[in-house]
Copies of this chain bind each other. A is one copy, B any other.
Amino acid sequence: MIVAAALPGIPEVRAGVDLAELLVEAAGMLADGDVLVVAHKIVSKAEGRTVALDDVEPGERAVELAAEHGKDARLVEVILRESSAIVRSRPGVLICRTPHGFVCANAGVDASNAGATDELVLLPIDPDASARALRARLRALTGVAPAIVIADSFGRAWRVGQCDVAIGIAGLAPVDDWRGRPDGAGRPLQATMIAVADAAAAAADLTRSKDSREPAVLVRGLERHVTDGDGPGAAALVRAREEDLFL
Overall SS of chain A's interface: loop
CB distance from A112 to the nearest CB of B (A): 5
Q: How far is the CA of A176 from the CA of B162 in the complex (A)?
A: 10
CB distance from A137 to the nearest CB of B (A): 25
Task: Count residues of A near B (Cβ-Cβ below 8 Å).
Answer: 72
Which of A21-29, A52-60, A61-69, A177-185 lies on the face that meets chain B? A177-185
- As a 0/1 sequence over residues 99 to 121 of chain A, the CB contacts with chain B under 8 angstroms (1 = contact) are 00111010000011111010000
Given A159-B165, A192-B112, A194-B153, A183:B203 Cβ within 8 A:
no
Spell out A's residues near B (CB within 8 Å). 1-6, 88, 90, 93, 95, 101-103, 105, 111-115, 117, 153, 155-165, 174-176, 178, 181-185, 187, 189-196, 198-200, 202-203, 205-207, 210-213, 221-222, 236-239, 244-247
